[in-house]
Structure 1
Amino acid sequence: MNTLLEALESYSAETICILDSAISASAYVTLDISKSNKDLINLDITDYTVCQAYIDNVLKGKQGVIAYGGYLEQRNLYSDKKGFTSDAQPIRNIHLGMDFWHAADTKVMVPIDGSVHSFKNNTTIGDYGPTIILEHVLNGITFYTLYGHLTLESLEGLYVGKDFKAGEVLATLGTPDINVNYAPHLHFQIIKDLEGNEGDYPGVCAKARLSFYKENCPDPNVLLKLL
């Protein structure tokens, strides 16, 4: 285990709920939207209304409120998006963060003390829409967390260096017209090295680059500890 993973693992023994603090951890249920999920074979998961209907069915079946998962999940979700399927580049379809699917305007909570590194509205279809990146120092180790698919209002009043404490409200979830064509959800990603990026960082990679990105973007659940 590397030093960042050790720091994340030791940060808290308790589950950290990253959406509205009024929703308990017991209301979080796992979601599989990988290309290997046979339930999705005849569904156009790239259509956010179809995706939302599937998520709603999973939540109903599992008696949950928030659906989550997706770290290193290979997905068909991006198959209609040019930036992910270009003939000139390897297909990017391996998800590098965790997604938390819930209604638009749901509060996003800060999981660990940090300050604003950068923020941006990434408006290309298939991207994040409004995005915030926080910088953290834990046990002397600097790392970053990325929050994508937010409301435009989430970016108001932000400035580089603005401090947030764990448990504070950082943002709210955006609608499909703002989050660039996805069912409402939070993309949450931990990043060791931003490689010079500001307000954006790849959230999906090609198989050929997986070894690098798996090292640079560790499993967010090491920090959050959802069951």
Structure 2
Amino acid sequence: MNRHQQLANYIAKHPEEVGKVVDFDTSTDRLLQFNFTASNSELSPEGIADTARFSNWVNLQLMQNRCRYGIGGYMEHRTLYARSALFDTSNEEPRRLHLGMDIWAAAGTPVYAPLDGTVHSFQNNDRFGDYGPTIILQHDLDGLPLYSLYGHLSADSLSHLQVGQPVAKDQQIAAFGTERENGSWPPHLHFQLMFDMQGMTGDYPGVCRFSEREKYQENIPDPDLILKFSGATII
């Protein structure tokens, strides 16, 4: 049995052990599915490169569709990362494949630990287009190691943390950051799961080259196993 199957089996057997990442109510909230691939004709490279314009577009979509949250991104081949040189390497294939799930909502939106665990690491990845303030938690699911990453947070989210600090399921650990502090993005949370941190602390790639998809997918399970958004109303 591979690690993906182990994780799915653990969650199926212990649903009470899995909490929330955001305050999402399946009875009242709808989710807006964002599309940041080349097929989205509403977005231009110029609009995406301008953080204020990009934020206005995201907020307008949420408002017009009467959604508190937008979602998208797991294994999505995105073109918007051309907005930042962080995702390009000279004479090599650029990084465009998104590895986590984005949850788009207002700055200040609370973020919760969905599983019991400890603080593995944290840091402010303070470059244009990067994660900004980032927290990584470590979990032990009946012997299966799992790590959860939370990116684009508020700067204050890091102020109370210590490595090894215990966290409980449904405990608030952070909040969505503003454009000024979250890596210059419209307010959102990048949520990602990893089986192995591969020696990294405070950071882990959230975007890879499309040619590396299989390698990264082996280590990065579908975040919806925890989020369970697929059972909600998605428009």
- Using structure 2 for the length normalisation, give the TM-score: 0.88
Task: Please tell me the residue identity of whatever aligns with 1:120.
Answer: Q
Counterparts of 1:90-129 in structure 2 under 5 Å?
Answer: 90-129=93-132
- The CA deviation at 1:38 is 2.8
Rounded to whole Å, the distance in 1 between the matches of 2:16 and 2:139 is 19
Task: Please tell me the residue identity of whatever aligns with 1:159.
Answer: Q
Which of 179, 187, 192 aligns to 1:189? It is 192
Rounded to whole Å, the distance in 2 between the matches of 1:175 and 1:12 is 33
Q: Which moved more, 1:5-14 or 1:82-91?
A: 5-14
- The CA deviation at 1:32 is 1.9
Contact 2:34 2:71 in 1 (8 A): yes
Which of 162, 186, 202 aligns to 1:199? It is 202
- 3-state DSSP of counterpart to 1:2: helix
- The CA deviation at 1:152 is 1.3
Partner of 1:27: 29
- The CA deviation at 1:213 is 0.9
- The CA deviation at 1:156 is 1.0
- 3-state DSSP of counterpart to 1:67: strand
Structure 2, gaps ≥5 residues long: none
Q: Which moved more, 1:37-46 or 1:26-35?
A: 37-46
Cα 1:126–1:10 change in 2 (3 A) is: farther
Cα 1:32–1:225 change in 2 (3 A) is: same
- The CA deviation at 1:165 is 0.9
Partner of 1:88: 91
Structure 1, gaps ≥5 residues long: none
Rounded to whole Å, the distance in 2 between the matches of 1:41 and 1:157 is 39
Partner of 1:179: 182
- 3-state DSSP of counterpart to 1:5: helix
Rounded to whole Å, the distance in 1 between the matches of 2:77 and 2:96 is 5
Task: Please tell me the residue identity of whatever aligns with 1:102.
Answer: A
Partner of 1:164: 167
Cα 1:96–1:163 change in 2 (3 A) is: same
- 3-state DSSP of counterpart to 2:200: coil
Contact 1:9 1:222 in 2 (8 A): no
Contact 1:115 1:134 in 2 (8 A): yes
Identity %: 38
Contact 1:16 1:225 in 2 (8 A): no
Rounded to whole Å, the distance in 2 between the matches of 1:75 and 1:225 is 23
Partner of 2:71: 68
- The CA deviation at 1:41 is 4.9
- The CA deviation at 1:16 is 5.1
Rounded to whole Å, the distance in 1 between the matches of 2:34 and 2:126 is 26
CA RMSD of aligned residues (A): 2.1
Partner of 1:45: 48
Task: Please tell me the residue identity of whatever aligns with 1:125.
Answer: F
Task: Please tell me the residue identity of whatever aligns with 1:178.
Answer: E
- The CA deviation at 1:185 is 0.6
Q: What is the CA deviation profile of residues 87-130 of structure 1, one whole-angstrom value per residue up to 9, with x for unaligned ones?
A: 23321011100011111111111111111000011112111011
Contact 2:125 2:203 in 1 (8 A): yes
- Using structure 1 for the length normalisation, give the TM-score: 0.91
Rounded to whole Å, the distance in 1 between the matches of 2:39 and 2:123 is 33
